[in-house]
């Protein structure tokens, strides 16, 4: 199903409900780096004494070659806890869905430091699990860079066929994934 709006390229579907519009506008402002315009919840929207939290529920990844992306992610995702729900949709037990599609012809290539998604990271249950995945990827001929960082972080960086990096890392208890 394609539901990109030509009037607003950040609005994927016309079915966005009005109550979600402030969030959609805020994310658009964030994407364009206009921090002063980012939507912030007002006290009327946040129940007193309860922080408002939202869980990341899906990622949509567009690629130049859906066939290459399907082969790459079809190898990687089952090894990190995802199951295929439809030919172009995968999900994990935590409820994170990854949807794949074809990029429009004539659009720019992925740029590591360009605006947009730089990479996405997933937490591994142990450093041994990260090392085992690195070995499987190497055996399959898939490029992956295994690194360690203080204090005890083991990270694996895997570029997809379009260059978007998938990070799978183990963080010791109490160590946040970003600092």
Bridge pairing between strands 165-170 and 119-123: parallel
What sections of the chain are H helices per DSSP?
21-31, 66-79, 127-139
pLDDT score for 46? 55
Q: How far apart are CA 175 and CA 159, in angstroms?
A: 24
How many Cα atoms sit within 13 Å of 148 on the Cβ side? 8
Higher pLDDT, 133 or 35: 133
Mean pLDDT score across all residues of the chain: 79
Note whether residue 33 is domain-resident.
Answer: yes
- Domain assignment of residue 141, yes or no: no
Q: What is the pLDDT of residue 47?
A: 58
* Residue 73 burial (C-beta neighbours within 10 Å; 0-12, 13-18, 19+): buried
Percent above pLDDT 90 for the chain = 60
User: Is there a domain that residue 103 lies in?
Assistant: no
The reply to whether 175 falls in a domain is no
Q: How many domains would you assign to the chain? A: 1
Torsion on CA atoms 7, 11, 15, 19, rounded to nearest 10? -110
Mean pLDDT of 169-176: 94
Is the pLDDT confidence value at 22 over 70?
no
Mean pLDDT of all residues in 100-121: 88
Q: Is residue 32 part of a domain?
A: yes
CA atoms within 13 A on the CB side of 105: 0
1 within some domain: yes
Distance between CA 46 and CA 107 in Å, rounded?
A: 39
Q: How far apart are CA 118 and CA 110, in angstroms?
A: 9
Q: Which domain holds residue 20?
A: 1-40
Who's near 99: CB < 8 A, 6+ residues apart? 58, 59, 60, 61, 88, 89
Residue 2 lies in a domain: yes
Query: Does 21 fall in a domain?
Result: yes
Query: In angstroms, rounded to a whole number, what is the distance separating the alpha carbons of residues 114 and 31?
Result: 11
User: β-pairing, 89-92 with 97-102?
Assistant: antiparallel
Nearest to 31 by CA among 10, 15, 16: 10
């Amino acid at each position: 199903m394609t539901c990109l709006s030509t009037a607003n390229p950040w609005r994927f579907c016309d079915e966005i409900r009005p109550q979600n519009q402030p969030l959609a506008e805020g994310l658009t402002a964030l994407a364009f780096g206009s921090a002063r315009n980012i939507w912030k919840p007002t006290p009327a929207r946040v129940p007193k004494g309860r922080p408002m939290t939202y869980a990341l529920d899906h990622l949509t990844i567009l690629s130049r070659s859906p066939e290459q992306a399907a082969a790459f992610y079809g190898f990687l995702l089952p090894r990190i806890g995802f199951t295929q729900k439809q030919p172009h949709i995968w999900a994990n037990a935590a409820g994170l869905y990854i949807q794949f599609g074809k990029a429009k012809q004539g659009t720019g290539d992925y740029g590591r430091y360009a605006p947009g998604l730089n990479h996405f990271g997933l937490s591994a249950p142990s450093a041994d699990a990260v090392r085992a995945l690195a070995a499987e990827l190497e055996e399959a001929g898939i490029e992956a860079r295994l690194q360690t960082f203080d204090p005890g972080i083991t990270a694996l960086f895997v570029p997809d066929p379009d260059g978007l990096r998938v990070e799978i890392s183990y963080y010791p208890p109490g160590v946040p994934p970003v600092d």
